[in-house]
Structure 1
Amino acid sequence: MDDIDREILRLLQIDGRMTATALASEVGLTVAPCHRRIKELERSGVLTGYRAVVDPAAVGLTFQALVFVTLRDRQQMLTFEDEVGRIEQIVKADRLFGEPDFLLKVIAADLQAYQRFYDEVLVGLPGVEKLTSTIVMKTVKEEGALPL
């Protein structure tokens, strides 16, 4: 990966819909080599995908909670991770060193919807010993682009 690849990645993080023509112009290449670089970044797994960013409040999802999870034992770790990966209300999940074991970001319509999700889903996840929720009051900074 060279400086041109990094610049392509930086620009795509800002605008994932940028055309190969516009990218080529920005990085000083013609379209064909720029397109080849993009395809190679995708093929090699450096560029993992494209997505639309949706305002949660605009679609009625106004409640967010951070949930700290401690497992009873490490034997359930992979089963827990697999299950969490299938649940759409969990929009981010990080495995942590030490205690707790995981940090989950959960989104819901409101407090009542979160309570139902907590009672019906979170407490039933494999191996859960302890759950601690913290309500997100305000998002100051969304997950941003990597500093390339």
Structure 2
Amino acid sequence: MVDGIDRTILRKLQHDGRMTATALAGEVGLTVAPCHRRLRDLESAGVIRGYRADIDPAKVGLGFEALVFVTLKDRQSLGPFEAAVVEIPRITEALRLFGEPDFLLKVIAEDLPSYQRFYDEVLVGLPGVEKLNSTIVMRNLKGTGGLPL
């Protein structure tokens, strides 16, 4: 069970995932040992799924984003489609939706021609795809933010 102290730890780590256990302990009002134990417990319970760097896509040559709405031909395609999608690095988010369309994919690319090649060579060939509808992201106002803890 996640309590108030755990939520404070999670909130602090969402803001600064590189914070040391000592600094974190001071921020949440614990000594280092209990803070470290809570961190280990949160990690082993799967509450903390990992730590990663927040990279600006444009600064590494990946400044083009598209949202792709996917409708599948049939329900038998769900498993193969999902398995294929999780293996494709250019698809940075994949959400299964209720109703139509079936999925929303966030795709990142260098530019429009690069996205077009990816669309023609990869997306249309995904298992069970009946229909794709893309929209280009003009500007990302709020990226993947932390949870409201």
Q: TM-score range by the shorter chain?
A: over 0.9
Which residue pairs with 2:28 in the alignment? Answer: 27
Percent identical pairs in the alignment equals 72
The structural deviation recorded for 1:62 is 1.4
Q: Aligned equivalents of 2:75 and 2:99: distance in 1?
A: 12
Letter in 1 for 2:49: T
Name segments (4+ residues, structure 1) moved above 3 Å. Answer: none
TM-score computed with the length of structure 1 as normaliser: 0.99
Cα RMSD, aligned residues only: 0.5
Unaligned segments of structure 2, at least 5 residues: none
Residue correspondence of structure 1 range 126-137 to structure 2 within 5 A: 126-137=127-138
Structure 2 Cα separation of the partners of residues 10 and 114 of structure 1: 35
The aligned residue for residue 3 of structure 1 is 4
Unaligned runs of 5+ in 1: none
- Distance in 2, matches of 1:139 and 1:5, equals 30
Shift of 1:93: 0.4
Shift of 1:2: 1.1
Residues 16-42 of structure 1 show CA distances to partners (whole Å, capped at 9, x for unaligned) of: 000000010011110000000000000
Matched to 1:128, the amino acid is: V
The one-letter amino acid paired with 2:42 is L
Q: Which residue of 2 aligns with 1:75?
A: 76
Task: Give the structure-2-normalised TM-score.
Answer: 0.98
What residue is the counterpart of 2:100 in the other structure? Answer: 99
- Residue 143 of structure 1 deviates from its aligned partner by 1.7
Q: Which amino acid aligns with 1:62?
A: G
Paired AA for residue 105 in structure 2: L
Give the aligned length. Answer: 148
Instruction: Report how far residue 71 of structure 1 moved.
Output: 0.0
